[in-house]
Homo-oligomer: A and B are copies of this chain.
Amino acid sequence: MSMVLDTQNGSDVTAEPAGVIPAEAARAPATLHDELLAALRDYIVEGNLDDGARIPERLLCDRFGISRTPLREALKVLAAEGLIELLPNRGARVRALSADDLRELFDVMGGLEALAGRLACERVSDADVAEIERVHHDMYRFYLRREMHDYFRCNQDIHRMIVEAAGNAVLSATYASFAGRIRRVRYSANLATDRDRWGEAMREHEAILDALRRRAGSELSDLLFQHLRNKRKAAQAEAKG
């Protein structure tokens, strides 16, 4: 249970309500603000608010049990991240992603993954490659069995592992930020229904893994970018169909 949800206003902090985890339990003595920020981000990413709908501050304050000041601070940060937009004197609304926005975001994700692949080839260990191969083979099994959900999870894991293998914290953070932004539509951007695309994606992953094994950075970079490109195109076709 999160502090954000349980903490009440400062006037009566004498007895904590039942069910509250002692503040000390929070391993990181994170400030209330940071916790709220994370909670609010999840809340939005998970789609609890409608696209473009108004978000009265008061409502969120009540929901999270805090006053407007820390909430507004969090909103400013989320606006800077591009998750919501703040209209002067007219409140916050969830930023609806246009087709162009999606195209741009996918391409930037592709660029970041391309970079990750390039960097990973410079420093990835054989053990790391083996680990990625293991997940790849798991994924292949799920592909054969048409177990979409598990396949998808492995897929995400592989991409994340490549990004981590790059050993660049700035890259990881940036990648995570963009991943959050498109998460709302990512599931719909799925290749669940398109079997041809699914098989193609598997072949692309084979090539990606092969390039990684050979530490062919530049080649892997191209492959990852194209892989994301194709994923985007599939998603767009899906959206239209």
> What residues of chain A have their CB less than 8 Å away from a CB belonging to chain B?
29-31, 33, 69, 72-74, 76-77, 80-82, 86, 88-89, 101, 104-105, 107-108, 110-112, 114-115, 118-119, 168-171, 174, 218, 221-222, 225
Q: Shortest CB–CB separation between residue A86 and chain B, in angstroms?
A: 8
Known contacts A73-B76, A76-B76, A80-B80; A169 and B104 CB within 8 A of each other: yes
**CA A69 – CA B171 in complex, angstroms?**
32
Residues of chain B contacted by A119 (CB below 8 angstroms): 107
Which residues of B have CB within 8 Å of A110? 115
Which of the residues B29, B77, B89, B112 comes within 8 Å of A80, measured between beta carbons? B77
Whether the pair B171, A33 counts as a contact (CB closer than 8 A) is: no
**A88 close to B174 (CB less than 8 A):** no
A135–chain B nearest beta-carbon distance, Å = 24
Contact pick for A171, options B89, B101, B107, B171, CB 8 Å: B107
Q: Tell whether, in the assembled complex, residue B115 and residue A111 are in contact, meaning their CB atoms are under 8 Å apart.
A: yes
> Across the interface, do B29 and A104 meet the contact criterion of CB distance under 8 Å?
no
Question: Which residues from chain B contact A101 at a C-beta distance below 8 Å?
Answer: 170
Quick one: which of B30, B77, B82 contacts A77, CB cutoff 8 A?
B77
Chain A interface, >50% SS class: helix
Roughly how many angstroms separate A218 CA and B110 CA in the complex, as a whole number?
A: 13
For residue A216, give the distance in angstroms from its CB to the closest CB of chain B.
12
Are A168 and B107 touching (Cβ within 8 A)? yes
A29's partner among B69, B88, B112, B170 (CB-CB below 8 A) is B88
> Is the pair A114, B221 in contact by a Cβ cutoff of 8 Å?
yes
- Determine how close the nearest CB of chain B comes to the CB of A10; give it in whole angstroms: 15
CA distance A110 to B30 in the complex (A): 33
CA gap between A118 and B110 in the complex, in Å: 11
Report A123 CB to chain B, min CB distance, Å.
11
- Asked whether B30 lies within 8 Å of A105 as measured between CB atoms, the reply is no
Interface pair B107/A30, CB less than 8 Å apart: no
How distant is the Cα of A170 from the Cα of B100 in the complex, in angstroms? 10
Q: Do the beta carbons of B30 and A171 come within 8 Å of each other?
A: no
Q: In the complex the two chains form, is A108's CB within 8 Å of B31's CB?
A: no
The residue of chain B having its C-beta at the shortest distance from the C-beta of A75 within the complex is B73
